[in-house]
Structure 1
């Protein structure tokens, strides 16, 4: 799997026509690039963010007011998250319109759908972390929507056992946002790229 993935990244030959933009617009690759930007900026934000209800918002204020480039860094992280969602949605739409989900690409279609849902969930978990009023209202609204789903009550209990914005809930959102969900995205992305290689993708040199 690792060998095939390396060959996918570094093919022996690339046709000239494949270097031009086509109907695919490299949307999948751009989405993964946005994810890498999120990882890089997120790791830098970890040096200043404090995942406690009392310190979360002050740490954001400190980052934006007293850290050189801090406001730019946080804005880049937010912008990259928007780009990730938009690019994945457009990539999914392109797959649907071109029928690229059909046999033998069913597994890749499922992993792509899972990546879309994980990206949405990743954005949701990150929305609470600044702990400002908008974050609390938005997360509370999301939890009320989750509560209407089948097994939604159990999901709500797992995510916010002590209420939105309370210490344990914030810690769980924090761990999900920086560790669990990104790890799952990276794992599924690797499988996604591997299956593209195995299915010969859409490019002749594959």
Structure 2
């Protein structure tokens, strides 16, 4: 599976027709590129961010005001997250419109939907981390909405056991954002590209 993943990212030969701009626009590949940019910029942000309610916002201010390129780095991370979500949404829309979710690619469709949900959840967990007023109230609104759906109160109790913005909830959002959810995205991306390689003879543009 790892070899198939690497071959998908770095093929030995690329047909000329695959280099032309088509209706697919390589949206999946661009989304994965955005994810890699997010991982790189987020890794650098970890050197300055402090995951505590008292220091989170001040560490962001310090990054933007006192570190050379800090404001650019944070803006790059935010912009890449927007691109990541938009590209995955467009890729999903393209799959629906072209019927690429049908057999024998139905399992890849499930993996793609899982990636979309993880991308949205990743954006949600990252939104709280700056700990400004917008982040606190947006996260609070999201938790209130989650409590209205079945099992929502249970999920809310896991994510924010001591309230939005409190030490334990911030730590859980932090761990989810920098470790657990990105690992899930990476794993599903491996499986997604693996299935694309396995079904490469089905779609004419592959």
Question: Structure 1 length as normaliser, TM-score?
Answer: 0.97
**In the aligned structure 1, how far is the partner of 2:130 from the partner of 2:6?**
38
**Residue segments in structure 2 that go unaligned for 5+ positions in a row:** none
2:59 counterpart of 1:75? no
CA contact (8 A) 2:4 2:193 kept: no
Superposition map of 1:40-189 within 5 A? 40-189=40-189
Q: Using a 3 Å threshold, how does the CA distance of structure 1 residues 180 and 25 change in structure 2: closer, same or farther?
A: same
Deviation string, structure 1 residues 45-91 (Cα, Å, up to 9, x no partner):
00000000000000000000000000000000000000000000000
CA contact (8 A) 1:18 1:203 kept: no
Structure 1 segments, 4+ long, off by >3 Å, are 201-204
**In the aligned structure 2, how far is the partner of 1:169 from the partner of 1:109?**
33
2:185 counterpart of 1:202? no
2:191 counterpart of 1:191? yes
Deviation (angstroms), 1:203: 5.2
CA contact (8 A) 1:129 1:170 kept: yes
Deviation (angstroms), 1:14: 1.9
Deviation string, structure 1 residues 88-134 (Cα, Å, up to 9, x no partner):
00000000000000000011000000000000000000000000000
**In the aligned structure 2, how far is the partner of 1:6 from the partner of 1:126?**
29
**In the aligned structure 2, how far is the partner of 1:107 from the partner of 1:15?**
26
Deviation (angstroms), 1:34: 0.3
CA contact (8 A) 1:160 1:169 kept: yes
**Residue segments in structure 1 that go unaligned for 5+ positions in a row:** none
**In the aligned structure 2, how far is the partner of 1:152 from the partner of 1:8?**
38
Question: Structure 2 length as normaliser, TM-score?
Answer: 0.97
2:22 counterpart of 1:22? yes
CA root-mean-square deviation: 1.1
- Does the residue aligned with 1:122 lie in a helix, a strand or coil? helix
Deviation string, structure 1 residues 167-204 (Cα, Å, up to 9, x no partner):
00000000000000000000000000000000116356
